[in-house]
Amino acid sequence: MTSAVASPGGTRNTVAVVLCTYNGVRYLPEQLDSLLGQSRAPDQLVIVDDDSSDGTWTLLEAFADRARGTGLDVRLERNPENLGYRRNFERAVGLARADVIFLCDQDDIWCPGKIARMEAEFLARPGLLLLHTDARLVDAQGKALDCSLFDALEMTATEIARLHAGDAFEMLMRRNLVTGATVAFRSAILRLAVPFPDLWVHDEWLAVVAAASGEVDCMEAALIAYRQHDGNQIGVKLLTAREKLRRGKAMRRQHMHTVAKRLEQVEICFDKRHVALGDLERDTLRQRRLHARARAELPSSWPSRVRHVIVETLSGRYRRFSFGFRSIVADLMGLD
């Protein structure tokens, strides 16, 4: 892989926290207090409100005055109309002026050492472009749930080990493992990542661009309390086996069509923005697109479907990009 992004090291990075808000008055106070409670204070805090209709803006104005009183550089902006979370984050990261940018959701709570621990990784590893962490899942009242974020995502020990080993691009072509509320990245990647493509969530897109240009890794430490509630824009949902089966039956084919379109967007954007993919990464992207198309275009007749699945199985792509035998069985059963 040829890095297309400069990754300076040094004894200190400047750090910006980017917080996007929308009708968040219920949970914001705890999050804002946790930002002021960091053992390593950020150099800049960028807050962009997406035209909230509750008391969020009034709360933010009062907080900005309090934070500035501690010496923190706060940039507070309000969109004149609602942009949606993707475009709001796109605008917000563009306002940050720092070496490393931390993404922040309005309804979580950061551990006091989050910035310090993650910044230390960037200082120690000049090639590291994006870092994400585990999180404690909590309910709307802040009560701990029974699993961590990595558990909820069903991240395996093998996937984590491969991230540590530098195989992030391959892993992210298989599935997204990165949750924006836990992410920090070098601002240099923004010249390749912005604007965010319409079919991509901002955190997943940033991770793919970073993995194509340098190192992406994870920390297994849970550095935020990741709140799960009815108002989550994304969040995670723990599904039973029956719920997974029902969801797969209703959505799998459309999902695979969308995946194929998203992968085509990657190639178009990377070519236009001169992201220097190596031969291995370019072939990985091509193979992933072929697999998505194969799963999206399963024949309706049983004999044809069996032949189709056998050919795709022999290619090795079920194992590489899906869930192996589980996905093969799902396709054979016609769960589309």
Residues 137 and 164 both lie in one domain:
yes
Instruction: Give strand pairing partners of 75.
Output: 46
pLDDT of residue 255: 83
pLDDT of residue 254: 83
Burial class of residue 200, CB neighbours in 10 A (0-12, 13-18, 19+): buried
The type of residue at 272 is: K
In this structure, what CATH number is given to the domain that contains residue 160? 3.90.550.10
Structural domain boundaries, residue 254: 241-332
pLDDT of residue 2: 46
pLDDT of residue 251: 64
The type of residue at 301 is: S
Integer-rounded Cα Rg, in Å, for the chain is: 21
Cα–Cα distances in angstroms (integers) from residue 304 to residues 172, 255, 257, 309, 310, in the given order: 30, 21, 19, 9, 10
pLDDT of residue 1: 54
pLDDT of residue 276: 86
For residues 100 and 186, the answer to whether their CB atoms sit within 8 Å is yes
Number of domains in the chain: 2
Residues 262 and 223 both lie in one domain:
no
N residues, the chain: 336
pLDDT of residue 11: 73
Residues 34 and 116 both lie in one domain:
yes
Residue 213 lies in a domain: yes
For tokens 């969109």, the residue is 79
Residue 173 lies in a domain: yes
Burial class of residue 8, CB neighbours in 10 A (0-12, 13-18, 19+): exposed
pTM summary value: 0.90
Q: What are the per-10-residue average pLDDT scores of the chain (336 residues)? A: 56 93 96 97 98 96 97 97 95 98 97 98 97 96 92 96 97 96 98 94 96 97 92 51 49 82 93 92 95 92 95 97 93 73
pLDDT of residue 336: 43
Residues 128 and 193 both lie in one domain:
yes
